[in-house]
Structure formats: C-alpha cells, structure tokens
A and B are shown apart, each in its own frame.
Chain A
C-alpha cells in the first residue's frame, strides 16, 4: 500500500527557534498534501492544504507566517514552525492524496514537537 513518511518523528527545540518537518510520499506522487495538528486527546485539526508548485491554502485561524508550508515536488511537502513557542508543542500529522485521483488519503506517522 501507499506509504507516507514524516521526519523527524520527534523533535525538541527551544523557544524562538524554527523547526522543519518533512512529509514524503514514498511510492506515489501527490499533487496535494495536507497538514494537521493534534492536541492531546483531541481530534485532528486541518491546518493547511499544500499544492505542488503553488501556495498553500490555510484554514481560518492558522497563521501562514508562523507555519510555512512548501510543496516543491510531487513527493515532498515541508512544514516549518517559525519562532516556535511552547504553545506550538503538538503532534503534527501530514497526509497525501494520490495524484491518480482516488479519494483515499494516506497519513504519515506524525511528528511530536516539544518546544521548551
């Protein structure tokens, strides 16, 4: 089956620094990738839709200058949390939709970000 990887799986950074999270589709091409955020014991909240070669579409309330998304190729999207603060600590999950147009999304294993 289709596989989506995320790197790193866990990251700890200091307040004020930036951290980049990578999302890769390993065996398929994805023109569209999605970034979600999940707080403990809560559901996944869609942050933004990332389209290859164009600007990401952010959901209401998500700061685009805070969460920079780049989708430079059909297999890679990155999320950069800029000037991180402790409240940015969360579980970030990406997903990718197969470019062949099937409805199913494939989810990455998630990245646990802790900002100290």
Chain B
C-alpha cells in the first residue's frame, strides 16, 4: 500500500467473538480513520481518531492509536455476520493534505 500495512490481511472468526485488526503507518499524522467496505461497494466511515488522542469508542468499535509506534488497532466486539467486510485504516499526514490508505483486513464472521 502507499502508507503502511494492516495485520492480519485476512481474519475469520465466529459470530460473537471479538475481532482485532492492526494498522501501521509510515509518516507523521494529523489523524487516522477507519473505514469499512463491503465487497464491490463504497467506503463507510467508521471512526476518526486525532493524533493527540489515544483511544476512542463508538458503539461496538474501539480504536487505539500509538503515535510513538505509528500504529493503530480496531477492535470490534461481539461480532456479527453482518460485520463481514474489508476494513481499512487511512491516515491524514502532517506533510500533505491527503488521505492515504493501508492495505486492509478482510474480515469474515461466520454465523
């Protein structure tokens, strides 16, 4: 990817389990965002965390940010089959007014 890697590339879990996805990036950032994309569809914005924030919650989502390690994680609790999608992190860097995407994690939640 242009910015960094996501880990794992693919994740398969049972409904009700938690799913954790990690994202690493290369440059200094103003903020980091997580998006969801269903197959062949557009992006859905999930959550934005600013560089001076360490953790943020939204419903079943929990995002952490460690700027010293240039990494972020997305936790989806009590997953559902409908959570099956690709998840991307994206960073808005301090050096330029553009958003760069990570490689993405494909999550499959089995009912």
Contacts and interface: CB of A to CB of B under 8 A. Distances in A.
Contact-size category for B? 20 to 34
B2 A45 contact: yes
Interface string B30-46: 11010100001111010
A87 interface: no
Contact of A43 (B1, B30, B33, B97): B1
B45 A107 contact: yes
A36 B37 CA distance: 14
Contact of B42 (A59, A104, A107): A107
A8 B98 CA distance: 24
B42 A46 contact: no
Given A43-B104, A46-B2, A104 B43 contact: no
The dominant DSSP class at the B interface is strand
A12 interface: no
A103 B31 contact: yes
A110 B41 contact: yes
A104 B90 CA distance: 11
Nearest to A48: B98
25 contacts: A34-B98, A36-B101, A43-B88, A43-B102, A43-B104, A44-B43, A44-B88, A45-B1, A45-B101, A46-B98, A46-B100, A46-B101, A49-B97, A59-B2, A103-B48, A103-B92, A104-B45, A105-B45, A107-B42, A107-B43, A107-B45, A108-B42, A109-B42, A110-B41, A112-B40
